Amino acid sequence: MRYIILLITFLFALTPEDILKNIPKNSPEYSLDLILAKKIKELKFNPPLIKKPSNQKEYVKEFNNLVLLENRLLTLPQKIKELQEKLNILQNENTPTAKLQYIYYNRLYGIYNKELSFLNENMDKFEKEIFESVKDIDFNLKEADYNIKLLKQTLLKVQKEYERLNIDLQKWQLLNSKEKVENIKNLIEKNLQYQKRLYQKLFNNYVVVWSVDLKNKDKKAFEDDDYLLKIAKKLSLYKAVDSIVNDFEKFAFGSKLLVYNAKKEVDLTFQKIISLINHPLFTVGNRTITPLNFAIMIFILILGWYIGKYYKKFIYQLRKKYNLSHSTATLLGNMGYYTILIFSFLISLKSVGLDLSSLTIIAGALSVGIGFGLQNIVSNLVSGIILMFENSIKVGDYIQIDENTRGEVVDISMRSTVIRTNDNIDLIIPNQTFIQNNVINWTLNDDIVRFRVPFGVEYGSKIEEVERVVLEALKTSNVPYVKKHPRFDVTPRVVFIEMGDSSLNFELFVWVRGEYARRPRRTKSEFLKLIYNALNRAKIGIPFPQQDLHIKDSVPFEIVIKKDKNA
């Protein structure tokens, strides 16, 4: 640490002339060191001054000077920090050039600190002086408004020319024409410089308009400063202009500034929200989708879903009032529900500006999806539509898919059908199952079903007696069966089927309806119990499997008993 302090002291003691004396004039770095020494001599702090303007032209000039001073005040701390880093690096260098550079940056470091201190002390005074001059200046507002209009038109043309030049630049870059590319780049640079001059003129005229509103204490000044700040951003002076504008408005409006600023902040926040919700998310075809469009689309879809949901509920309420069947109500409810959803989807697309031609993109994507695994889903959807219109399976029907899968249909949706078994288990079955496979609908046209109840009696029983006993027992029993039907004969019958190995086999043909048709095992059990009890009372034997063994007497045989010799 002591070494560094001594080195710095030594460097401060040296002058640029002392350092130059020790550098050979034929050295390649001598010319550079000579320039550095000259610049060190020229370095001095000149305090900036602001003159009080007496007319519009001088006011605009001094206002721009004030902006530059404010910008200088904002950027000086960073410049001082950068100088400090350079000095930290150079303090360990011992070459003549490094010594001169250290002296240069050290003096500049001192000047910057003086300048920063001066500006901190005097900026408020400069601002008040320029602001107070506003009262005494006659501004030409009409001329400023005319200039603003003209400058905006000119700027628009120049910006279009800038875009055209960029297109030409890309063209010549593709064609690999270096000469043309260089010419276009020069034109672009000139265009940008011209734009900057136009922005500066536009800024100057907006300063006039804004200052007139300040002079009249018109709150339109808060609208004008938005334009000032937009142009200041183009000139890379946003922070400086923002600071001065806020101070001037504070001088002009005093305590009212808080109210105006609060309103301004609300307006700015509202504008930011509007800008945010209108920010593009993605593009479909030629239409850009924004968060607002997307939110409206989602809202319409949710609204359609709610309308469809309450539509189904309304239909089920009408069922009781108008005595609609459950299957009819379900069909009307489901078809109306899906129709509402489809219309909601189309309306939501229209709300974001998409037409039906845009659906070709979605259809193309869906076709790829169907090709890679959505066949079953689409098949089930189509099958659901067929089932709803065909009416071959309705809600409330009792159906059988295979030997172990049977039950009542409780719901038919677009993708699947719900069957509730007699064990109160809900089976969700894809709709294509009912289209592709054989399905037994026990209650398609009505709920009357004929049961065949098999039973057997022993050989030697009288067939007529068996038929009579069973039918009489059926007539006098409480077992529910259908006795009359307007369309076909439902008379119970006992049919002799076959002479089996151990029994004479019969079947009882009997018709049942409603709940008993939906419980085949329990219903058949009731009839079997009735038949068993009736046959027992009539002393008619019920056989069981048996075999007779016959031995012929003509076949001789003898029994030989051998004794063990060792016993």
Of the candidates 224, 241, 221, which has an alpha carbon nearest to the alpha carbon of residue 233?
241
Q: What is the pLDDT of residue 91?
A: 80
C-alpha torsion angle, residues 153, 156, 160, 163 (rounded to 10):
160
> Edge-to-edge strand order for the sheet containing 448-457?
448-457, 504-513, 493-499
Distance CA 116, CA 71 (A): 11
C-alpha to C-alpha distance for 539 and 536, rounded to whole angstroms: 5
Between CA 148 and CA 155, with CA 152 as vertex, the angle to 5 degrees is 135
| Residues forming a β-bridge with 429 | 417
Tokens, residue 246 = 């806020």
Given this model, what pLDDT does residue 4 score? 44
Per-residue pLDDT of the chain (567 residues; tens, 9 = 90+): 333 433 444 444 567 766 766 666 666 666 777 777 888 888 888 888 888 898 999 999 999 999 999 999 999 999 888 888 888 888 877 787 788 888 888 888 889 999 999 999 999 999 899 999 988 889 999 999 999 999 999 999 999 999 999 998 888 888 888 888 899 999 999 999 999 999 999 999 999 999 998 888 887 888 888 888 899 999 999 899 988 988 888 888 875 555 555 555 565 566 667 767 766 666 655 566 777 777 888 888 899 888 988 888 888 777 777 776 666 677 677 778 888 888 888 888 777 766 655 556 556 656 655 555 566 777 777 777 777 666 777 777 888 887 778 888 888 777 788 888 877 888 888 878 877 778 888 777 777 888 899 999 998 889 999 999 999 988 888 888 888 887 778 889 999 999 988 889 999 999 888 777 778 888 889 899 999 999 999 989 888 776 666 666 655 556 566 555 554
Pairwise CA distance, residues 537 & 278, whole Å: 90
384-418 burial by CB neighbour count: b if 16+ within 10 A, else e? beebbeeeebbbebbbbbeeeebbbbeebbbebbb
- Choose which CATH entry (3.40.50.620, 3.10.129.10, 3.30.70.100, 3.40.50.1460) describes domain 448-537: 3.30.70.100
| Dist. CA 435–CA 449, nearest whole Å | 23
Backbone angles phi, psi at 454, to 5 degrees: -80, 145
Which tokens belong to 296? 């409206």
Query: In the sheet where 440-441 sits, what is the strand order?
Result: 426-430, 416-420, 405-412, 398-402, 440-441
Side chain identity at residue 342, one-letter code: I
Helices 178-215, 56-90: crossing angle, 10 deg rounding: 120
Question: In degrees rounded to 5, what are phi and psi of residue 408?
Answer: -95, 135
Residue 449 CA to residue 398 CA, distance in Å, equals 11
Rounded to an integer, what distance in angstroms lies between the CA atom of residue 184 and that of residue 163?
A: 12
Torsion 367-371-374-375 (CA) sign: positive
**65 phi/psi in degrees, rounded to 5:** -60, -40
Q: CA–CA distance from 281 to each of 182, 247, 289, 357, 364 (Å)? A: 37, 39, 6, 21, 21
Q: Find the DSSP H helices in 278-325.
A: 291-322
Question: Which pLDDT does position 66 carry in this prediction?
Answer: 92
- Tokens 């974001």 correspond to 352
Of the candidates 458, 455, 464, which has an alpha carbon nearest to the alpha carbon of residue 527?
455
Is 229 within 8 Å of 240 (Cβ atoms)? no
3-state secondary structure (DSSP) of residue 118: helix
Q: For residues 70 and 240, is the Cβ–Cβ distance under 8 A?
A: yes
- 474, 530 contact by CB (below 8 A): yes
Q: Per the structure block, which two tokens stand in for 357?
A: 């031609």
If we measure between CA atoms, which residue out of 169, 171, 162 comes closest to residue 199?
A: 162
Please state the length of the chain. Answer: 567
- Per residue, the 3-state secondary structure of 415-461, as one string, reads CEEEEECCCCCEEEEECHHHHHCCCEECCCCCCEEEEEEEEEECCCC
Q: What pLDDT score was predicted for residue 10?
A: 43
**Identity of the amino acid at 279:** H
For 512, phi then psi, to 5°, come to -130, 165
Query: Residue 511: helix, strand or coil by DSSP?
Result: strand
Residue-level pLDDT at 151: 93
- In this structure, what DSSP letter does residue 374 have? I
pTM exceeds cut of 0.75: no
Q: What is the DSSP string of 480-509?
A: ------SSS----EEEEEEE-SSSEEEEEE
Quick one: pLDDT at residue 3? Answer: 39
Q: Sketch the domain layout of the chain as residue ranges.
A: 2-253, 448-537
Q: Rounded distance, CA 165 to CA 162, Å?
A: 5
Query: Helix, strand or coil for residue 512?
Result: strand
For the chain, report the end-to-end CA distance as a whole number of angstroms: 125
Place of tokens 């009539």: 538
Secondary structure element (H or E) that encloses residue 136, with its range: none
Q: What is the pLDDT of residue 356?
A: 57
Contact 227, 206 (CB under 8 A): yes
Q: How does DSSP classify residue 544?
A: -
